Amino acid sequence: MKKLKTLEQNNAFAFSRSNINFNVPLLNGIACPKCGSELFDSHPNTILTSYPAQKNTKCSSEKCDYVGYRYV
């Protein structure tokens, strides 16, 4: 008979792999259309329910005021 894990074991393992702070802004590898610096997702835990889905982005350069959206 196959040994099965408990629901608690499964959930503990899944949680340990996903214990990341998704609300910390991270650079996303996209160039700013205004100055060329790298953009970051300003609210990474939020996905806008548009079609297609989008995320809020902001320029990482302190000298640039670009704010916009990117498709997810």
CA pair distance 53, 57, nearest whole angstrom: 13
Residue 17 has phi, psi (to 5 degrees) of: -80, -20
The pLDDT assigned to 63 comes to: 95
CA pair distance 33, 70, nearest whole angstrom: 11
Give the pLDDT confidence of 13-59 residue by residue, as tens digits: 877 766 566 677 888 999 999 999 999 999 888 899 999 999 999 99
Flag whether the pTM goes above 0.85. no
